[in-house]
């Protein structure tokens, strides 16, 4: 049998999750087809997914395909399952399509999205809790669960749309989501883009009109823009016409930046990198670069923004490094602090402050918080059994012990935390502990230590979380980590260490000890600010006026979301606590981990030696930002993304728009007389711009980057269809049309330059210089698309923005940085297995597809003969299939497919 | 025809004598059946499948995995497509699709009469009675199938018999 799926069709989810059932019983070939293709000969409107049976029959209903897979695996139909499936088709689906349409196509959020489906969600929740079974039709997961899970997943994977109060629904949904077939289906279909992966599909759906609007017409491609309402178009045109005049005046630069009453004050921190490790790409994307994008965006919104970071310098690791290099710890810190600062400067990170933790302010503030905790009875004293390496003659700090995790059995668990299960570990609980320096087995010795009494603070913490979490933008992984900690119950946490290089403990009997870095490292944010301005408390003791965003990788969540808030709450000094904790997953290198010791991966200081500009690194790292799940850096992918997205899409569009102004209009932006088509384009760009804002407000950095690329795709297509280079040679009317198209295109380019600013600041500045964009328009981004380059505006000299990355160049880099082998990413249940082709070959195919796509569009635009169009479409589809095969990605509709 | 009425027709055609009472739920008047020995069942096709099993006529739900899936697919089609639409264009598309599907089939599953035929017949009845002779000729395969089902013993009952002309009148149309 043959399963036909299309990129972004929601029906793929349950079908792929159910397909696993027939493994070993029947062969399922999976092919990707376009959303517009009619695979079922007797149906007028296209349906996907579709299963073609060996008998020649077709199953075109998603539930029936799933049902068939279940039946083949020996499952028997029952009344309860039938009832759920009928309910899904008649009640849930209409409500859900409306919600998804509002969310993805119209960019609505909150109650506007949840409203239409709330009744249905409540129905599931009640049924689950009433029948007291973990699954819809009994004790085990079955057809009904898969079909409903698949339908709901696109919406509910965003925790904002999984209401807290529907506990039974939540746990049912989460249980299914973590099961392997479902997880795999979700990865394949949503491709880490969340619900936006469904955009191409949903855009083609008619606007739902609940409660009974269930028409399922599929508008042909040409009429796609018509989904915008007249009103939306009119509003976009009005905003456009206001132009530069509607820009507010630019905020004056302040030094130092301090909160202003009545304004939005955004304080942004990036996790403090440990001073003696050179950061690798994963560290950079995890905190510093992610926070930078948000800080730059925040400034574009004219929010009062302070972005700070610094090196975390205390601890044993520094002491050891100092011994190795024959320097004092302070000298080591001085030396490496500069290395860090240089790397971030090269990456164009826009810190307001890049400080360090080894300062008198750090001692002062840490000791103050400690004293307050002590006098309020939140500090305990206890004897600690600690690991001591006799050979190295010292107590072993957590990071110097390795062993087997007592919870999950992971072999390389660290002394403080297991990388595998994420649980915190007391070093002496490790099984088979080893000193990481000399590999001998340490012995347990006892010593007096201080503890933060977390159980006593737990109630305050929960109260604070209860107020903070709902409606905030904490990432789901952060919520999950904190929730699981609280569920397990908090335990007293040791905050001192037997070391010299650290913040001294101001207590008798503890003169030879220092604070544990995880008590005082998070205080580093405060002391770094204190070194920047003596009015630091206006940021850090001002929770009413300050919105605190903290960026980090997920392993840092407990310390920022739990330990520091507990210290601050216990200190009772009105500290500003994190409002939005933004945690990334991990970035892998090719197929493995980054490893300094094995020389695998790209480290911050090496990136500059590759000859690839910082902005290209920024772009690619942000494009693959591990948002929602782990992702991997891949050289081949970087080449492809550079050559397809930057060079062929974004760069090509902006360059053409500028070149037309120079070549055809002497460098002056021509008069624009907007036709209804142009107005719809305006509205479409506005819609995408709004989408970009919504995503960035929620710190969905990677997803927002897609919006930029979508707009430039719209732009490319607009130029392609209207052919200004031909019209400029035509009649007066044609020349006027060429002018309008050029003018509108160059204004879209100007908009893109601003949207691009958080991601690629240098490229953004280059475009703005080329277009001579007026200064206020360069630094402010509104939610409307304005005409910022009015007729008569003179632009500068236009030149290409990006360079092609060549295959041999990338190949030599791959070898230089190790981790050579490329493997195809995890595959869906059953697919046609194919060999991956050379990137060059892929590039050739992609170019051909772009060309062929343009031919098809031109024909359609000219309303050419149907058969002729069909023939060209067939060629295009064939090319796409070839590409899919070449890429070894049978489920992806190839890039190069440009939709309107 | 209300769903409860349709289910009563189905009971009779299946030879069930007892006669269940149905209540209706919500705006769309979804039928609910309170069974004696279990929870209530909601939804037309769900209850219909339940009645088929009660009558020991499981073969009406299909005998192979493929047939079972196809039966359920057309039952879903019945409640989502046939019941969902009342505008002329949608109905025309629906009849056109169905006509093309039935081109090489006697019944919806191919060669076996199933519950899908019964419920689609009940669901389409209100549209077919209104078709002109010309339209009936245009949807020739649908007409052939519909005529066949309405003559199937015990199915039509009190519903009006739709007349189909045997000789083609409009030779130009197809």
| Nearest neighbour of B76 by CB, restricted to A53, A64, A211 | A64
Residue of A864, A865, A854, A866 lying closest to A896 (CA atoms): A854
Mutate: best of B72, B108, B123, partner A, most A CBs <10 A: B72
pLDDT exceeds cutoff 70 at A216: no
Q: Using one digit for the tens of pLDDT, what is the confidence trace for A299-334? A: 999 999 999 999 999 988 888 888 888 999 999 999
Q: Using one digit for the tens of pLDDT, what is the confidence trace for A720-772? A: 999 999 999 999 999 999 999 999 999 999 999 999 999 999 999 999 999 99
pLDDT of residue A181: 87
Contacts of B65 in chain A (CB under 8 A): 68, 71-72
E strand or H helix at A356, and its extent? strand A353-356
A563 near A394, Cβ under 8 Å?
Answer: no
Residue of B nearest to A130 (CA): B39
pLDDT exceeds cutoff 60 at B172: no
> How far does the CA of residue B29 sit from the closest CA of chain A (Å)?
12
Q: What is the mean pLDDT of residues A352-361?
A: 96
Q: What is the mean pLDDT of residues A636-652?
A: 93
pLDDT of residue A613: 95
Residue of A885, A895, A896 lying closest to A857 (CA atoms): A896
Beta bridge partners of A794: A668
Measured between CB atoms, does B52 come within 8 Å of chain A?
A: no
Measured between CB atoms, does B68 come within 8 Å of chain A?
A: yes
Average pLDDT across chain A, whole number: 87
The length of chain B, given as a count of residues: 174
- Report d(CA A748, CA A733) in Å as an integer: 23
Check CB contact under 8 Å for B61 and A60: no
- DSSP structure class, residue B107: B
> How far does the CA of residue A148 sit from the closest CA of chain B (Å)?
15
Instruction: Using DSSP, state whether A892 is helix, strand or coil.
Output: coil
> How far does the CA of residue B143 sit from the closest CA of chain A (Å)?
16
Average pLDDT across chain B, whole number: 89
pLDDT of residue B38: 65
A216 near A11, Cβ under 8 Å?
Answer: no
Contacts of A83 in chain B (CB under 8 A): 41-43, 46
User: A657: pLDDT confidence band, cut at 50, 70 and 90?
Assistant: very high
User: A888: pLDDT confidence band, cut at 50, 70 and 90?
Assistant: low
Instruction: Using DSSP, state whether A278 is helix, strand or coil.
Output: coil
Q: Angle at Cα A307 formed by Cα A707 and Cα A778, nearest 5°? A: 50
pLDDT exceeds cutoff 90 at A834: no
Residue of A nearest to B49 (CA): A79
Q: Using one digit for the tens of pLDDT, what is the confidence trace for A184-195? A: 899 888 888 888
Buried b (16+ CB within 10 A) or exposed e, A560-599: bbbbbbbbbbbbeeebbbbbbbbbbbbbbbbeebbeeeee
State the number of CA atoms in the 13 A half-sphere of B99 facing the CB.
17
Lowest mean pLDDT among A151-155, A223-227, A680-684, B110-114: A223-227
- Report d(CA A48, CA A893) in Å as an integer: 13
The label of the residue with tokens 């019983």 reads: A25
State how far the alpha carbon of A782 is from the alpha carbons of A50, A230, A300, A790, in Å.
Answer: 43, 22, 8, 17
Check CB contact under 8 Å for A53 and B45: no
Q: Using one digit for the tens of pLDDT, what is the confidence trace for A701-728? A: 998 998 999 999 999 989 999 999 999 9
Check CB contact under 8 Å for A42 and B101: yes
- DSSP structure class, residue B156: S
User: B58: pLDDT confidence band, cut at 50, 70 and 90?
Assistant: very high
Can you read off the two tokens belonging to residue A486? Answer: 């609280």
Chain A residues within 8 Å of chain B (Cβ atoms): 41-45, 53, 55, 57, 59-61, 63-65, 67-68, 71-72, 77, 79, 82-83, 85-87, 89-90, 93, 211, 214-215
Residue of B nearest to A60 (CA): B73
E strand or H helix at A549, and its extent? strand A546-553
ipTM: 0.96
Lowest mean pLDDT among A30-39, A583-592, A856-865, B65-74: A856-865
């Amino acid at each position: 049998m043959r399963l036909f799926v299309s990129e972004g069709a929601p029906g793929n989810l349950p079908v792929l999750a159910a397909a696993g059932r027939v493994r070993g019983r029947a062969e399922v070939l999976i092919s990707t087809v376009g959303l517009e293709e009619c695979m079922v000969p007797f149906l007028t409107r296209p349906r996907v997914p579709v299963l073609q049976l060996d008998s020649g029959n077709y199953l075109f209903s998603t539930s029936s395909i799933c049902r068939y897979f279940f039946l083949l695996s020996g499952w028997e139909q029952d009344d309860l399952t039938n009832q759920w499936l009928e309910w899904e088709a008649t009640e849930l689906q209409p409500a859900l399509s409306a919600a998804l349409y509002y969310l993805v196509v119209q960019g609505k959020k909150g109650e506007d999205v949840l409203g239409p489906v709330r009744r249905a969600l409540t129905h599931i929740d009640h049924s689950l809790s009433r029948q007291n079974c973990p699954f819809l039709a009994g004790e085990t997961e079955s057809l009904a669960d898969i079909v409903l899970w698949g339908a709901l997943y696109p919406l509910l994977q965003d925790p904002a749309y999984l209401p807290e109060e529907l506990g039974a629904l939540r746990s049912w949904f989460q249980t299914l989501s973590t099961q392997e077939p479902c997880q795999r289906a979700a990865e394949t279909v949503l491709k880490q883009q969340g619900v936006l992966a469904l955009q191409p599909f949903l855009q083609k759906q008619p606007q739902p009109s609940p409660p009974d609007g269930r028409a399922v017409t599929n508008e042909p491609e040409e009429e796609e823009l018509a989904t915008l309402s007249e009103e939306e178009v009119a509003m976009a045109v009005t905003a456009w016409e206001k132009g530069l005049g509607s820009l507010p005046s630019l905020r004056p630069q302040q030094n130092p930046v301090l909160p202003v009453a009545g304004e939005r004050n955004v304080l942004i921190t990036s996790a403090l990198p440990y001073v003696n490790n050179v950061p690798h790409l994963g560290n950079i994307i995890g905190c510093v670069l992610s926070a930078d994008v948000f800080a730059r965006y925040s400034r574009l919104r004219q929010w009062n923004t302070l972005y700070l970071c610094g090196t975390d310098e205390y601890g044993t690791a520094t002491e050891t490094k100092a011994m190795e290099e024959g320097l004092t710890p302070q000298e080591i810190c001085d030396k490496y602090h500069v290395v860090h600062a240089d790397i971030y400067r090269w990456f164009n990170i826009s810190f307001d402050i890049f400080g360090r933790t080894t300062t008198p302010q750090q001692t002062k503030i840490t000791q103050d918080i400690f004293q307050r905790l002590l006098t309020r009875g939140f500090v305990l004293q206890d004897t600690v059994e600690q690991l001591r390496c006799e050979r190295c003659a010292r107590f072993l700090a957590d990071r110097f012990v390795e062993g087997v995790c007592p919870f999950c059995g992971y072999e390389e668990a660290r002394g403080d935390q297991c990388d595998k299960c994420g649980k915190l570990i007391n070093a002496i609980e490790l099984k088979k502990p080893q000193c990481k320096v000399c590999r001998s087995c340490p012995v347990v010795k006892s010593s007096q230590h201080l503890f933060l009494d977390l159980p006593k603070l737990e109630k305050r913490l929960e109260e604070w979380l209860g107020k903070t979490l709902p409606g905030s933008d904490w990432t789901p992984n952060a919520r999950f980590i904190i929730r699981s900690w609280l569920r397990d119950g908090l335990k007293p946490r040791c905050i001192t260490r037997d070391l010299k290089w650290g913040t001294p403990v101001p207590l008798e009997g503890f003169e030879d000890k220092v604070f544990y870095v995880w008590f005082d490292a998070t205080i580093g944010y405060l002391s770094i600010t204190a070194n920047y301005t003596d009015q630091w408390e206006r940021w850090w003791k001002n929770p009413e006026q300050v919105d605190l965003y903290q960026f980090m990788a997920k392993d840092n969540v407990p310390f920022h979301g739990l330990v520091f808030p507990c210290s601050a709450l216990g200190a009772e000094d009105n500290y500003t606590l994190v409002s939005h904790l933004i945690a990334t997953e991990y970035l892998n290198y090719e197929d493995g981990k980054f490893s300094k010791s094995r020389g695998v991966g790209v480290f911050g200081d090496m990136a500059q030696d590759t000859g690839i500009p910082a902005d290209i690194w920024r772009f690619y790292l942000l494009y693959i930002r591990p948002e929602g799940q782990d992702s991997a850096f891949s050289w081949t992918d970087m080449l492809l993304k550079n050559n397809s997205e930057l060079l062929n899409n974004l760069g090509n569009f902006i360059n053409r728009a500028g070149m037309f102004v120079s070549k055809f209009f002497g460098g002056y932006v021509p008069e624009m007389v907007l036709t209804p088509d142009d107005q719809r384009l305006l509205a479409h760009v506005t819609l995408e711009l709004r989408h970009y804002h919504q995503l960035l407000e929620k710190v969905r950095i990677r997803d927002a980057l897609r919006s930029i690329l979508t707009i430039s795709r719209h732009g490319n297509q607009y130029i392609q269809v209207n052919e200004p280079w031909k019209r400029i040679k035509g009649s007066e009317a044609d020349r006027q049309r060429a002018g309008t198209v050029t003018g509108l295109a160059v204004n879209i380019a100007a908009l893109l330059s601003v949207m691009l600013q958080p991601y690629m600041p240098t490229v953004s500045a280059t475009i703005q210089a080329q277009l001579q964009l007026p200064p206020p328009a360069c630094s402010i981004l509104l939610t409307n698309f304005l005409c910022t380059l009015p007729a008569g505006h003179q632009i500068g000299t236009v030149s290409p923005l990006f360079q092609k990355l060549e295959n041999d160049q990338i190949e030599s880099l791959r070898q230089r940085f190790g981790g050579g082998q490329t493997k195809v990413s995890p595959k869906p249940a059953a697919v046609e297995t194919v060999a991956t082709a050379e990137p060059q070959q892929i590039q050739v195919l992609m170019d051909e597809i772009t060309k062929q796509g343009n031919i098809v569009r031109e024909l359609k635009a000219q309303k050419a003969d149907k058969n002729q169009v069909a023939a060209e479409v067939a060629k295009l589809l064939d090319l796409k299939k070839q590409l899919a095969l070449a890429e070894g990605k049978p489920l992806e509709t190839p890039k190069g497919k440009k939709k309107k | 025809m209300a769903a409860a009425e349709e289910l009563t027709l189905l009971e009779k055609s299946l030879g069930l004598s007892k006669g269940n009472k149905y209540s209706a739920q919500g705006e769309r008047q979804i039928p609910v059946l309170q069974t004696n020995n279990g929870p209530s069942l909601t939804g037309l096709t769900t209850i219909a499948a339940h009645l088929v099993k009660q009558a020991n006529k499981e073969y009406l739900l299909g005998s192979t995995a493929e047939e079972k899936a196809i039966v359920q697919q057309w039952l879903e089609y019945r409640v989502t497509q046939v019941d969902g639409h009342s505008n002329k264009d949608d109905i025309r598309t629906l009849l056109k699709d169905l006509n093309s599907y039935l081109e090489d089939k006697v019944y919806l599953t191919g060669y076996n009469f199933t519950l899908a035929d019964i419920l689609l017949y009940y669901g389409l009845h209100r549209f077919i009675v209104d078709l002109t002779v010309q339209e009936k000729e245009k949807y020739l395969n649908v007409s052939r199938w519909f005529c066949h089902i309405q003559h199937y013993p015990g199915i039509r009952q009190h519903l009006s018999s739709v007349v189909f002309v045997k000789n083609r009148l409009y030779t130009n149309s197809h």
